[in-house]
Amino acid sequence: MRSKRIFVTGLCALLLMLAAAGCSERITRQAAGEDSAADGSAAEADRLYKLTEQFYTAVSDENRQLAYVLAGRIKQAAAQNGVRELGYGGGWKAFDDTVQAAEKTLAKEQAVSDWNLQGAQLKLAADTLVRPNAPVWLQYKDVLDDDLSRLDQVWRSSSAQRVQGSLAALNVLADHAERFEVAAMLQRPAELEQALQKQIAYTKEMLQSASAGGPAVKSMDRTFAQLKASYDRLFEPSPAEAAESKLASIAPMDRLGASHEYLTTMFIAAFVMGILGLAGWQRFVYEKRKGTIVPPRGGRK
């Protein structure tokens, strides 16, 4: 009976090995499928980025006809399902609105400055899809720091035109913030970008109030600090976002590694049980032929 139990154990080990082999193949196919899907999305993102580069060059060269054609191609490339999975929904809405605005701008023969703004917005936005860990728009933090420093210096000057100068400096900051607006919304919740725009508008109201000698004169330091805090929150991801980004970059390998460790353990266990099953089979065959159990090695003691 004991030999039969060992034999059954061996059969179970064999089934376990077959199941492990099937699991390994399935995991390999799944990993390959995930890689294939990721490659497809990356290819679509790369195509979209190249189109926005061409569009930016066309508007810089004031080539209205080519820019209009490229705007239509950008719209088609941005509608692909694979590329749509790479950013926040609010960002894609802003992206679509920018493309539509660009088409209207080009059709109505509006000012070239409008083309340049939309070209920069689309290029910076597409850049976040091909370089999500180090997009160009993050470099605008230093630009805004310089703009805010200049704004503060003008405000603290003794010039009779300091309010007008401060408003001009704020407009420069607002123009820079507008250039990366769509890119930021693709990588951050829309609320953070909206908070920055509201703070810029509030700062402008405070400066206009100060020009009339209102109470805002004494609170501009706090207003400037709030403005800086609003764009700091936009540029610096929260701990949860940073952890999620790190997890997203390493999770596929971790999952695959964990699966391989699990399969290795299963194979080792199956191998050991297979050896026991082989010994049981040999004992079973001997008993069946001889009708006796196999004597222990070295004889009785």
Whether 181 has a pLDDT exceeding 50, the answer reads: yes
> What gap in Å lies between CA 230 and CA 196, rounded to an integer?
5
Distance of alpha carbon 96 from the chain centroid: 19
Tell me what pLDDT residue 161 has.
87
Whether 139 has a pLDDT exceeding 70, the answer reads: yes
% of the chain at pLDDT higher than 90: 50
Tell me what pLDDT residue 48 has.
96
∠ CA 207-211-214 to the nearest 5 degrees? 90
**Within 13 Å, how many C-alpha atoms sit on residue 198's CB side?**
10
pLDDT digits (tens, 9 = 90+) for 225-259: 999 999 999 998 755 456 555 655 554 444 445 44
**Within 13 Å, how many C-alpha atoms sit on residue 172's CB side?**
15
Structural contact between residues 169 and 147, judged by C-beta atoms closer than 8 angstroms: yes
Whether 119 has a pLDDT exceeding 80, the answer reads: yes
pTM of the entire predicted model: 0.68
Q: How many residues does the chain have?
A: 301
Band the pLDDT of 77: cuts 50, 70, 90: very high
pLDDT digits (tens, 9 = 90+) for 26-71: 544 444 344 444 566 889 999 999 999 999 999 999 999 999 999 9
Whether 100 has a pLDDT exceeding 80, the answer reads: yes
Tell me what pLDDT residue 243 has.
59
Tell me what pLDDT residue 65 has.
92
